[in-house]
Structure 1
Amino acid sequence: MIALTLDRIAEITRSRLRGSAQPTDTVDGPVVIDSREAAPGSLFVALRGARVDGHDFAEAAVAAGAAAVLCSRPVDAPHLLVEGGDDEVVAALARLARAVVAQLPGADVIGVTGSSGKTTTKDLLAQVLRRIGPTVAPPGSFNNEIGHPLTVLRADETTRFIALEVAARGVGHIAHLCRIAPPRIGVVLNVGSAHMGEFGDRAAIVRAKGELVEALPPAEQGGVAVLNADDDAVIGMAARTPARVLSYGLAESADVRADEVELDEQGRPRFTLAVGGDTAPVRLRLVGVHQVHNALAVAAVLHELGRDATDIAAALGEAGPVSRWRMEVTERPDGVTIVNDAYNANPESMSAALRTLATLAASRRSFAVLGHMAELGSAHRSEHERVGRLAAESGVDVLVTVGEQAAGIADGAASVADWTGQTVAVADVAEAVAVLRERLRPKDIVMLKGSRVAGLEQVAEQLIGVEAAE
C-alpha cells in the first residue's frame, strides 16, 4: 500500500486512534485480515468470523510488525477504533481502498464479471498485463466486499494495472465494488444461471452484471466496455454504458474474433485471432473450448492497450492456469487422467466441462463425477436433469452423482434412451472415492465437477495423491 500515517488513515476510515497508536506512525506494508500475514508496517483488520474473532489476534499481529489494528472494539495494541461492528469495519476498509485508488491516477483499473469464467479470465489477464507493467490482481476468487478492497490496497505508486474480479449475489453489489475502485475498462463475459436462487430470475442477473458497464467513464474520458458478442444479454449492455464498446467472440461482427477454432489431443484450444485488421495464430495452455471466449476477452483488453495481433497471440500462448481446481489435468503413472474442475459449478460451466471431457476422452473410457449445483432456486431440478442429459448425450461411460441433491442428474441421464453408459449414485466423497478405486483402469479419464460445497476436489486429491503413490 502507499504509505499513510495513522492520523490520515483515521480520517479516511472515520475511526479514532486508541491504545498506543501515534498519529505520525506510518502504514507502508500490506493490509491483512489474517494475523499470520502481518508484516512490518502492515495494517491488521480485525473481523469477527464464524469460528474466530480477529480481535483476539491483535497483539500477535502487532508483535509480527503491524503498525496498528483497524477494529470495532478496543484491543491491547495500537488501534483505530470504528464504531458499529464488522459492517462498519468493512465499510472503513472500502473507504481506505477508495482513497488509495484516488492517489494512483496512473493505474488502470480493469474489472471482470460474468456468471462463469471470471477467475480464469482474471488470472489470464493479470499474466499478460504483467508483460506491460506492474500489475495487482487478487488471488483465486477474492472478489467480494472484503477481498476487493484488500486487493486494491496492495497497489502502490509503481502499479500500472489493477485487474479485479467483481462478483455479485444481488443487484447493487457490483455497483458498490465499482465505487471502491472505479474501473476504466469493464469486461463482461456471460450471463448464465449462477445464483439464480439468490437473484430470483435471469433478468435480475442481467441487471446486476450490467452495473459494471454502467460504472465506466464516458468514451471521451477513456471508458471501454468489453462485451461478449455471442451472448445477447451481454452485447445488449452496450445501451447501458457511456463507454466505448469493444466486442469479442466468434460472431463475424465482433471487433476481436476467433476463427478456425479447434482443440488439440489434450483439449487445449488453438485458433486464429483476428483483431485490428490483422491475424495471428494462438495456442492456449488452458484446457477446454470455453477458454476461447476467456482468451478473446483478454485479447480485447490488450488491443485497447495498443497491442497488435502478434503480440497478443504471444502473450496468450505463454499464460497458463493459476488458480486451483479449475480444469487441472493430472496424469497418474498408470495412465489414468484426472480432470479436477471442482472449484464451483453452474449449468453453463457444467456444460463446458462435459464438452471438454468428451474431447479429451476420444477412445478412452470416461467417468464424470458430478456434484450438485447450488443456488439455482426453482430451476434446481430442471437444470440438474438437463446436465444429466448432456452427460449421456456427450457419451460419458460412467456417471457418478455425489449427494442427494445431485439426484436429478442421474434422472436426466436415464431419460436418454440410446445411452449405453452406467450411473452410480453415491452419498458422499468417501463413497465416490471407493467407487472410482474399484472401477478405474489404466488409461481411463475422470472429470470432477460440482459446486464448492460438494467438496469434490477431495476426490481428486485422494485419487492423485494416494493412488499415484501406489
Structure 2
Amino acid sequence: MSAEHMRRHRSLSGLIRHKAAVVSHMRSQGTVLLPADGPHASRLQQEVQRHNPGRILSFGLMEGADARVIHVTGVENGQRVKARILGETTDYVVPMLEVHAPAMSAGVLLAAKVLGYSLKDCSELYSSARNYQTSGKLYRIRKHSMTFHLYDQTHRGYFEGFLSTCQLAAQLPPDMTRRKIAVLTELYNLDDNVGHRYDLNRAARLLKKAGLDRIYTTHRFAEHAGILPDGVTWVAIEKLDQLTATLRHTLQDGDFLLLHGVWKANLSTITEQLLQWSEGYECLY
C-alpha cells in the first residue's frame, strides 16, 4: 500500500478507503487476503473489516501472519524461501530477485491453499512463475561475445517501484554484475500526484546504497536530481534513440542495466530496441 494516483484519492486515508471498498459486495463467508507488512497494514485491515465481516487472512514477513516467510536465501536468478502457510511449512524457489517477492509468494500460496489446492504441488510449481510486465521483467541478452542483464521496470513507474529497483540493485550477487548502470526518469508521475510529499530523503539513501556505477536520466528526472549520490557518473539524454545508441556503445560483458521510469516516458522502447539489436536473449522472468 503506497501513495499513488493521489490526484484521485486526495490523501492516503482516501486511498485506503477506496482500496478497502472493493470487498463491499463480497459474501459474508468470503475470505480476504491482506498484506501483514508495511506501515498501513493495520489501517487497511480495519477499513476492510468495516466493509465486510468475513474472514481476513494475512501474508508477509511479520510475526503472526497466517502465511509467513520464515527464511530467505539467494539462488541463481531468484530466492529460496521457507514459509509457513496456515500451519503447514513449505520450501520453494521464487524465480525473482525483488526484495518483496518472497512476501508476495506467501500470499499466492495462501490463496492456493484457501482454494483447496495442494500446497506441496503449488510450491513445486512456483519456480516457473513469471512476473507481470508491470512488476518488472529480467532479461539476459547476448551480443557478439558480450552477455549482460537488463531489468525492465518501465510500465508503471511509481515511487515504491523506484525504491524496490534500488533495493534490487543493492543486493545483486557479484557474479551477475561487472557494472551496475541505470536509466531513470522522474521517480513517480508528477502530474498524477501533485502536492503529495514523498520521502525523497529515503529515495536518496537507497539510491546511494544501490552502488550504481553510471546513471543516465531522461524525461523529467531533473525535478528529482537532488537525490543523486556524490561521485556517480551522471549523463542526461533527452532523446530515447540517442539514449539507446549510447547504451549500445557503453554496455560491456557482465553489466547489469536497470531501467525505471514512468509510463509516459516510454522507456520500454529502449528495452524493445536492445532486444531487437541483440543476437539472442532469454526472459528470466
TM-score, shorter chain, exceeding 0.5 = yes
| 2:253 aligned partner, one-letter code | P
Distance 1:215 1:238, change over 3 A: farther
| Corresponding position of 2:283 | none
Tell me the TM-score normalized by structure 2: 0.85
| 1:466 aligned partner, one-letter code | W
| 1:378 aligned partner, one-letter code | G
| Corresponding position of 2:182 | 368
* Kept after mapping to 2: 8 A contact 1:344/1:452: yes
Deviation of 1:441 after TM superposition, in Å, equals 1.7
Distance 2:121 2:272 in 1: 37
Distance 1:236 1:436 in 2: 44
The answer to whether 1:349 aligns with 2:161 is yes
| Corresponding position of 2:238 | 427
Deviation of 1:296 after TM superposition, in Å, equals 1.7
| Corresponding position of 1:262 | 73
Which one of the candidate residues 217, 227, 236 is aligned to 1:401? Answer: 217
Distance 2:134 2:19 in 1: 25
* Kept after mapping to 2: 8 A contact 1:287/1:327: no
Distance 2:105 2:226 in 1: 35
Distance 2:204 2:97 in 1: 22
The answer to whether 1:229 aligns with 2:36 is yes
Distance 1:408 1:265 in 2: 37
Matches within 5 A, 1:41-60: none
Distance 1:395 1:453 in 2: 27
Structure 2: 5+ residue runs without aligned partners?
A: 281-285
Tell me the TM-score normalized by structure 1: 0.53
| Corresponding position of 1:283 | 93
Which one of the candidate residues 445, 450, 463 is aligned to 2:256? Answer: 445
Distance 1:468 1:391, change over 3 A: farther
Deviation of 1:192 after TM superposition, in Å, equals 0.4
Structure 1: 5+ residue runs without aligned partners?
A: 1-190
Deviation of 1:385 after TM superposition, in Å, equals 6.6
Q: Give deviations 1:298-337, integer Å, cap 9, x for gaps.
A: 1121121123432331232332345478223232241121
Could you say which structure has the larger radius of gyration?
1
* Kept after mapping to 1: 8 A contact 2:98/2:164: yes
Distance 1:467 1:383, change over 3 A: farther
Deviation of 1:235 after TM superposition, in Å, equals 3.7
Matches within 5 A, 1:249-398: 249-266=60-77, 268-321=78-131, 323=133, 326-333=136-143, 334-360=146-172, 362=174, 363-372=177-186, 373-374=188-189, 375-379=192-196, 386-398=202-214
Identity of aligned residues (%): 23
Flag the structure with higher strand content: 2
SS of equivalent residue, structure 1 residue 446: strand
Give the RMSD, CA atoms, in angstroms.
2.3
Distance 1:464 1:361 in 2: 23
Distance 1:408 1:441, change over 3 A: same
- Number of positions where the alignment pairs a residue of Structure 1 with one of Structure 2: 269
